[in-house]
Amino acid sequence: MTPLKIGFIGLGNMGAPMASNLAAAGHSVTGFDVAGTTAKDVTVAADISGTVRDADVVITMLPNGSILRQVAAQAFTDMQEGALFIDCSTVDVESARNTAEAAEKAELLAVDAPVSGGIGGAAGGTLTFMAGGTVDGFAKASPLFEIMGQKAVHCGEAGAGQAAKICNNMILGATMIATCEAFALADKLGLERQKMFDVVSTSSGYSWSMNAYCPAPGVGPTSPADNDYTPGFAAELMLKDLGLSQQAAEAANADTPMGALALALYRQFVEDEDGKGRDFSAMLPRLAARNRES
């Protein structure tokens, strides 16, 4: 692949390793983050304009839809005609569609491409990209997805990538809670956690939350539970994504009672208890310490 000039906005825990992987693959990467963070082999710019000017591709990894809209508005003013804008943030569907419309007016290609795989996937280049946008935009982005990840799926038109991410993480939040509830119940029934794992991981209770990211320390593959629930995916990020799912469900008039309950539980855990700064699987010690009435 011919080396590209890439601007990368948002060099946080996810963005920095993604930008470094692109630089390691031979691309010329210039980055910017309002917090002043940097990334290995990435040239630091002073502002958004300096990051995107003359870039063939601009990639963003940002906290929310409001910030995405602000950054895109600034970036589109200075991006060259025909350049590609890839947003890898997890934001609301409406912000993704609004950004795509603004890009089209600026004669730019745009792809919304939120990721799954967490910090480890960003560092290892094993992310999954869920992309929305035009066929041409996805085709141009695909070689970069191959560097930063192991799989990319073109989900449909603008906003479809965000829709896929929101639905996926609604499932993840609900299944993690159910998995943690099952371990807490097993404890009170006198069933050893390892024995429960041995049964459930090969039975109809099989799930990613159980088999790949088990919330019980010392059980199954190594997970954040084995590191005192230091975040691989923080509870507050799950809260954000569940909030997006319910915002989308309300807009689409979809009945999602499990998603709504998962949102309520993670909101309580993060905002009223000790969940902030812990992995989302730390719902297990929270439930294990409670009684039915509490």
From the candidates 105, 165, 188, 276, which is the catalytic residue? 165
CB-neighbour burial class of residue 189 (10 A; exposed 0-12, middle 13-18, buried 19+)? exposed
Is there a catalytic annotation at residue 165? yes
Cβ atoms of residues 157 and 131 within 8 Å: no
Phi, psi of 179 (to 5 degrees): -65, -45
Supply the residues annotated as catalytic.
Answer: 165
